[in-house]
Structure 1
């Protein structure tokens, strides 16, 4: 095209010289056309273009008609062939350096934020402090940078995600002077860390590792990342527990005073009046806690406070054994009132959380101490029956017997068949055993006496007696000793309800149609119980058994 343009220029110059009368005054430049290549359409151009000057002083006029077509012999390459691969590997060293700097600066920033924090609520509707916001903001900036970086290799990002998680789970401890605000700040950070798996796309890393390394790679990622998060959560919970302990320790003096008031209140004072100071203090404290703590922390503090109160009452009851029943009644009422207070009609602590742990021990202690001597004795035999039912084997041997009840005659017949595998209590390695059969508890069977049957034993028994839930037969196996006190070999109990119940098949006088009953013997040491003078005989027998066991 240059050759044709030159001919055109010469022709125009010649015409210009002829017009002016001198060829020397002719200017070769007539104008130019600038067309960017990237703007030329695929179909080309067929149009007039206005000539452009080369400077502001140039006087250019006119248009030029151009027809342009694009032709190429170059083969277009696939865009994938032109794309860069593995370019991110060039920046790995820089990323590692950046993570190291982030860890150092984040740790320093968190430390300074906590040191400078005044531990005041930053807004009326917000219950945590500015340092908690600084901490989460620091973590957020790191997370946002990682999201913008968009590291393309998910499997290779595992090491970076691990270090980022380590940065975010750095240990921190808030001051304990403003305990409620510090406690809320700890919870604020803990909740934020719970979002890390989603924010850092742990699932994407796990899937990438599974594709490249199999299931073991996925488990490694899961174990490593979740282990970091779990340890951080444990640290924050430990910090929260420390703050809660500090908070409840402040309440101890007033709580002790209120519990002592209940303990020392005379019986003439109404129970409500004795408990009133404690409940007023708890009401006032709850108002403050509700205003100062987020819901999760309020629940934790109430649970800790409940446990503290249970231990206080348990200690007080343990220090005042043997006092009047009214003392235990007063504290049982106190515990019931506290349960209602902390449960708050379902808005507070769960009943299953309230009635566990120390509560069960305290409730049993109060219940037993409220009982009369006869009720305690009945409770003792109920426990013996329960233990006998689950005893399936014993190293102290067993006895075999038959027992049947003649309802028209109101007569209970007991037949001792034999004993086996009894322990040897004599010096020669043998024993001279015999069995004492009793109807217990004795206050339910005042006319019955213990008997030493050779084979058959007949006892008179009316329906009102055997229907009692603790009524039972006791079989005490003793070793006869000519020169000293007989030795205790073991005992077994059988509830009368097993033999005397309506509709039981009739039996011959000898009981031949009944299957023998096998009872395993036990030698459990009697536990200490609070029993009054009505049970002195019962206590004496228990002590005899205990003494016999100690002499062996």
Structure 2
């Protein structure tokens, strides 16, 4: 047959005398090959060569009308033949058979070349849109292929069973082939968006099938419930192919919205899941047994592992769904409610079980309780997983796309669950401190009242031996997070016992200096013990408010009276700086330093509190330089008394002979005390204010010359009274009953306490 095709020009020469032109010879070969191709396909690469020969010769020679009609007939026949093959290209040219793909490529090349041939334009003037014919062919062939595939995979027509999942999976595979194998061929040869054309049709066809599947059974059985999620997972994967369509096109696809079809089923399943999860929690607790770790010590029980396993399955299910985040909040709320409800049920059952053992009724001395350790560890084990739900469900992204109300509901539910877990755990663990309290008190008494000849490290040995013994047991039996909580609880109880020895027993007596030195050294050793070279409590955890108060009081006890008084005034000055208003009025003053002289002008006061029965006061101001250690020769001075007024105008100037160095000393200040003058009784305290000398003109700006005192801007100071009746410095000074300076200072300050 091939021989006949090759020798067609010779046969034509016999029929038509004269030499054949190159175009006639090319025409003869193409016509002969076309006749053969219509019966038995030839290699399309050779057909492309024949078309090339015709186009090449067309530039030089011409054909008769009869020959053009003959060529047009074969052009049309070959076009129809090739389009027919493209209509069934999936069956004729399998994607995983490379030789077949080569044949398909050259068929497409033939069609592309034919559409650009001048010969084709001349002979077939009304049939130029080969590209449009290819697209139409694909649109006709895709539904046929889809129906054929469905019939082969789902033999039971009209019924949807597990084979429907296989069908969806097979469609997914074919789309993968379309994207990776067929699309490059069609687009590269003819510029046809093959995948867009095919996927849009499959999107409609597949959507109809899925909706029919969901509507087939009004009262689905459990097997259908399982099947529906398998179908969703397949359809979800099919929808992802939409990402390969051109950006910005009006595609109007259905599969990307498939979650809307399945949302009622998922919501129903989550409702059922909640009841099953609660039941599984109860069953897990009933069948629980201890779990052992690598160190063979009990850490938690199987019920905690089973509960977390339930939550892991729910988490993995949610990840598998890959629900669109913009539409996920309602379902995620159901899922979170399921997890939180099951977690809280587990916490309640565990807590109640420990309560029934009588654990919460036990008193000291402390003894390690396995039931306590297991219960606390079980709760901590479950708590740790629940605390990670915020990351598992990507709350960061949800916050940006969900409404504020819906997102707040999610976070509130999760926070409430975590908070209740923490309360349960702390209720269990905080019993350790009270059970140790008596032993800690005895050990701390030994520390405080040991002979002076016994070094402090030796004195704290009984305390540390007791703590080391029991803390080692707790460390082995508790999870690290729980041991940290217990360690902090024991630390606070140990601090409290040190504080009790420091102030609780002999607060009104003056202790020897060595007493507080020992307690301060013991506190430093306690910090080192509980820190345990970074293996115990962190420095931040230990240095809480209670620690600072104790450490501060010990420092106060070790400080002499004069320095304590200076520290007290320094705190009052700081309080002055932080006070912007108050109920005791204000005082306006000026102060500056010039030529070894401190000038202070008391201008006026406003809104002084009434201290006389007539509703007024008789105010005057006492000016005093503090601390006395810095200004030993400067006596206090005072203004004149102004009768029956709450807004006195003093306008008095006072001068103190001091040096610049004195004014610049740390803590140097002016104390203004407003008093109410009484004739028959002691003067009443109305308020006080403090001004740091380091801030006044002539001190703050050394070298500046002040010529006009009255040109300086007045400073308005808020008058204050004292409210801390239990101020630690005053308490310590009061305990120094043999110290006259301390006694007089405390007496003076007590007169300045506010009545309210």
TM-score, scaled to structure 1: 0.71
Would the aligned equivalents of 2:584 and 2:607 in 1 still touch at CA under 8 Å? yes
Would the aligned equivalents of 2:278 and 2:342 in 1 still touch at CA under 8 Å? no
- CA–CA distance in structure 2, aligned partners of residues 242 and 101 of structure 1: 28
Does residue 111 of the first structure (1) align with residue 285 of the second (2)? yes
Does residue 298 of the first structure (1) align with residue 472 of the second (2)? no
Shift of 1:414: 2.3
Would the aligned equivalents of 1:121 and 1:130 in 2 still touch at CA under 8 Å? no
Consecutive unaligned residues of structure 1, counting only runs of 5 or more, are 1-40, 44-74
Aligned pairs for 1:226-305 (under 5 A) are: 226-305=411-490
The residue that corresponds to 2:603 in the other structure is 417
The residue that corresponds to 1:86 in the other structure is 214
Shift of 1:544: 4.2
- CA–CA distance in structure 2, aligned partners of residues 393 and 223 of structure 1: 38
The residue that corresponds to 2:276 in the other structure is 102
Could you list the per-position Cα deviations for residues 289-345 of structure 1 after superposition, in whole angstroms to 9, with x for gaps in the alignment?
Answer: 433333222222222222222222223323132322322222222222222233334
Shift of 1:380: 1.4
The residue that corresponds to 1:130 in the other structure is 302
Shift of 1:227: 4.5
Would the aligned equivalents of 1:373 and 1:534 in 2 still touch at CA under 8 Å? no
- CA–CA distance in structure 2, aligned partners of residues 422 and 370 of structure 1: 39
Give me the CA root mean square deviation.
Answer: 4.1
- CA–CA distance in structure 2, aligned partners of residues 371 and 350 of structure 1: 29
- CA–CA distance in structure 2, aligned partners of residues 458 and 146 of structure 1: 81
Could you list the per-position Cα deviations for residues 493-540 of structure 1 after superposition, in whole angstroms to 9, with x for gaps in the alignment?
Answer: 2223234636152234x7345333332322335744322314233233
Would the aligned equivalents of 2:623 and 2:670 in 1 still touch at CA under 8 Å? yes
Shift of 1:245: 1.7
- CA–CA distance in structure 2, aligned partners of residues 464 and 354 of structure 1: 41
Shift of 1:259: 1.2
SS class of match (2:531): helix
- CA–CA distance in structure 2, aligned partners of residues 467 and 139 of structure 1: 67
- CA–CA distance in structure 1, aligned partners of residues 338 and 415 of structure 2: 15
The residue that corresponds to 2:675 in the other structure is 478
Would the aligned equivalents of 1:120 and 1:181 in 2 still touch at CA under 8 Å? no
Would the aligned equivalents of 2:721 and 2:752 in 1 still touch at CA under 8 Å? no
Would the alpha carbon gap of residues 520 and 247 (structure 1) be closer, same or farther in structure 2, given more than 3 Å must change? closer
Shift of 1:142: 6.9
Would the aligned equivalents of 2:444 and 2:497 in 1 still touch at CA under 8 Å? yes
The residue that corresponds to 1:442 in the other structure is 628
Would the alpha carbon gap of residues 255 and 423 (structure 1) be closer, same or farther in structure 2, given more than 3 Å must change? closer
The residue that corresponds to 1:460 in the other structure is 657
SS class of match (1:128): strand
SS class of match (2:638): coil
Count of aligned pairs between the two proteins: 466
TM-score, scaled to structure 2: 0.54
- CA–CA distance in structure 2, aligned partners of residues 429 and 195 of structure 1: 65
Higher relative contact order (CA 8 A, sep 6+): 1
The residue that corresponds to 2:712 in the other structure is 514
1:183 to 376, 399, 415: 376
- CA–CA distance in structure 1, aligned partners of residues 330 and 656 of structure 2: 86
Consecutive unaligned residues of structure 2, counting only runs of 5 or more, are 1-89, 93-142, 148-204, 221-264, 360-368, 641-651
Would the aligned equivalents of 1:113 and 1:135 in 2 still touch at CA under 8 Å? no
- CA–CA distance in structure 2, aligned partners of residues 544 and 158 of structure 1: 64
SS class of match (1:524): coil
